[in-house]
């Protein structure tokens, strides 16, 4: 529902953005962000179903963010974890050095629904969600918190994948760009960090 409303919001932008010249909308999950250059790199959502995004379209694409801060949402979190399928017990991860997507079957250790304010995931002293993933080197397990489904999940993967950098197991923010010229965003929305219902 939220994504549907966001799509309507961006569609309105297309109408008001110009009389005859219409722009386009692009959406993806961020794998890299350069704050100084104000650029992002993302993998597009290739799913036809907005309720079931699939951020595995290759190759990655880059955008320069708008110079106007009023047209730019919060800075994006980056990560290489594209999707988690808890039914199939599979994760899709972006492998940077080969520029490929790997679908990895994991072994579930624990999975539970949890309140976002639970001390396991929320640092009340600093008033923010704790940093994930948690990498347990002794037990070779990975723990991530899925904010959209309020799920804390711990799993193990084959050693060659466990040895990858921690950001392999971090989900980058979902973002949306309105653009007319490819690679140059005129408006940038961080879907993951935008509460469209906030007054």
Q: pLDDT tens-digit profile of 81-123?
A: 999 999 999 999 999 999 999 999 999 999 999 998 999 998 8
Residue closest to 11 by CA, chosen among 173, 168, 140, 178? 178
Does 5 have pLDDT greater than 90? no
Alpha helices of the chain — where are they, by DSSP H?
Answer: 2-16, 159-162
In words, the CATH class of domain 2-77+173-193 is mainly beta
Residue 50: its pLDDT value, please? 79
Poorest-confidence range of 12-16, 105-109, 146-150, 176-180?
Answer: 12-16
Q: What is the DSSP letter of 138?
A: T
Q: How far is CA 106 from CA 6, 129, 140, 145, 172, in A?
A: 33, 25, 12, 16, 20
Residue 195: its pLDDT value, please? 58
Q: How far is CA 38 from CA 30, 66, 70, 105, 192, in A?
A: 13, 8, 14, 35, 18
Does 18 have pLDDT greater than 80? no
Mean pLDDT of the chain: 88
**Residues 125-159: b if buried by 16+ CB within 10 A, e if exposed:** eeeeeeebbbeeeeeebbbbbbeeeeebbbbbbee
What's the pLDDT band for 167 if we cut at 50, 70, 90?
very high
Cross-strand pairs, 29: 43, 174
Does 139 have pLDDT greater than 70? yes
- Residue extent(s) of CATH 2.40.50.320 domains in the chain: 2-77+173-193
Query: Do 188 and 66 meet the contact criterion of CB atoms below 8 Å apart?
Result: yes
Pairing of strands 90-95, 100-105: antiparallel
pTM of the model: 0.83
Does 20 have pLDDT greater than 50? no
Other CB atoms within a 10 A radius of the CB of residue 195 amount to 7
């Amino acid at each position: 529902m939220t994504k549907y409303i966001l799509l309507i919001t961006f569609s309105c932008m297309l109408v008001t953005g110009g009389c005859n010249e219409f722009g386009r909308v692009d959406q993806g999950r961020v794998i890299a962000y350069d704050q100084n250059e104000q650029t992002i790199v993302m993998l597009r959502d290739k799913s036809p179903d907005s309720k079931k995004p699939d951020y595995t379209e290759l190759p990655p694409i880059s955008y320069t963010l708008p110079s106007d801060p009023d047209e730019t949402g919060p800075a994006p979190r980056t990560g290489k974890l594209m999707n988690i399928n808890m039914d199939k017990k599979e994760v899709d991860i972006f492998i940077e050095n080969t520029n490929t997507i790997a679908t990895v079957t994991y072994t579930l250790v624990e999975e539970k629904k949890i309140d976002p304010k639970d001390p396991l995931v929320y640092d009340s002293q600093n008033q923010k969600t704790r940093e994930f993933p948690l990498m347990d080197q002794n037990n070779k397990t990975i723990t991530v918190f899925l904010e959209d489904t309020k799920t804390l999940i711990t799993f193990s993967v084959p050693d060659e994948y466990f040895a990858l950098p921690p950001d392999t197991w971090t989900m980058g923010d979902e973002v949306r760009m309105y653009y007319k010229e490819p690679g140059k965003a005129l408006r940038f929305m961080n879907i993951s960090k935008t509460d469209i219902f906030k007054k």
